[in-house]
Chain A
Amino acid sequence: MWVYEKRLQFPVNIKEPNAKMAQFIMSQYGGPDGEMGASMRYLSQRYSMPYGEQKAVLTDIGTEELAHLEIVAAIVHQLTRNLTAEELEAQGFGPYYIDHTTGIWPQAAGGVPFNACEFQSKGDPITDLFEDLAAEQKARSTYDNILRVVTDPDVCEPIRFLRKREIVHFQRFGEALRGLQDKLDSRNFYAFNPSFDPAPVMARNSQ
């Protein structure tokens, strides 16, 4: 069960609209390494995790990603506020404007719509946690790319915050993976699915 809090996790107060930047940043809403895919990935993967630590970290990071989704949406919304159709078009926002006006819709910077194939839920905790580590790094790289082209400090500050959270999440997923491996047979981490293959088979295979 979820409950909404009527606040952003990090404040967003952008004074100067910039639809070109909005087009870039919206990739972290519904792009291949965006917050929507992140949240759906972690919240979907929880069910095949064998231990409480992994269930908790996926629940709590998956929840925090929803708050990040809201921050990215707030940035895109504020960057496209109070612009005319002519201004939107001149700033490269024309194709998006035609389909969505300035509404928030999940797509990549290049216009590719959000797709569940942006993430995997494999039903194997080691496989899934490795994917989660990669996902956090890919999101951090995307925020790095955004920070190279954004100059407005009002936009940079929340983006820097989101980037830092990717690093923290990477650390926590690393600990979650290590904690899981500590409970498995060290001779045989990767040859079976600890959430699916029965334990006696695991023991025989590892000998």
Chain B
Amino acid sequence: MMELYRCSMMPGMPAEPVRDSRLSAQNVMPACSTCQGTGRIITQDKEALMRQIMEAGFAMDDVILFLDTHPENQDALRYYKAVRDMRDQSMAAYENQFGPLRYTDVTSSSWDWVTEKWPWEGGC
């Protein structure tokens, strides 16, 4: 029996960790260190926002694989929605201050897609 959900304070998350006997240790989801149990974005700091995007983004990358092979699992679907919302909110907060992460999200009056740092340069 492995613990699937660690960040039980995220919006829409079950209060207690969900256990699923079909899961292996590889399915343990990461705890969200940045929401600090509030389930809300609590920072405007660039590095902290990116860490939140990466944590929520990876949680989503991982749970969608689980859902691909367990499409009827309602707990995983709730978790997906929670981490997706967290990811969307933190990406919007990041992009609002620090420039686009996706070429669909440019809002500036100039094409800042080409001017912001690139990820392999230690940007985002």
Contact = CB atoms under 8 A, between A and B. Distances in A.
Interface of A: 1, 3, 46-47, 52-53, 55-56, 59-60
B114 A56 contact: yes
Nearest to B120: A47
Nearest to A3: B102
Report whether over half of chain B's contact residues are helix, strand or loop; otherwise say mixed: loop
Contact of B113 (A3, A46, A56): A56
A1 B118 CA distance: 11
Given A47-B120, A52-B115, A60 B57 contact: no
A128 to B, nearest CB: 16
5 contacts: A3-B102, A46-B118, A46-B120, A52-B116, A59-B118
Interface in B60-112: 102-103
Nearest to A49: B118
Nearest to A54: B114
Please indicate which of the listed interface residues A3, A53, A56 has the most CB atoms of chain B within 10 Å of its own CB. A56
Interface of B: 57, 102-103, 113-116, 118-120
Contact of B103 (A47, A53, A55, A60): A60
Given A46-B118, A46-B120, A52-B114, 14 more contacts: A1-B57, A1-B119, A3-B102, A47-B120, A52-B115, A52-B116, A52-B118, A53-B114, A55-B114, A55-B118, A56-B113, A56-B114, A59-B118, A60-B103
A122 B32 CA distance: 41
Nearest to B119: A1
Contacts of A3: 102
A17 B109 CA distance: 48
Contacts of A53: 114
Contacts of B115: 52
B71 to A, nearest CB: 15
A3 B104 CA distance: 12
A56 B106 CA distance: 13
Nearest to B54: A1
A61 B116 CA distance: 18
Contacts of A52: 114-116, 118
A52 B110 CA distance: 13
A3 B61 CA distance: 10
A132 B19 CA distance: 52
Contacts of B103: 60
Contacts of B118: 46, 52, 55, 59
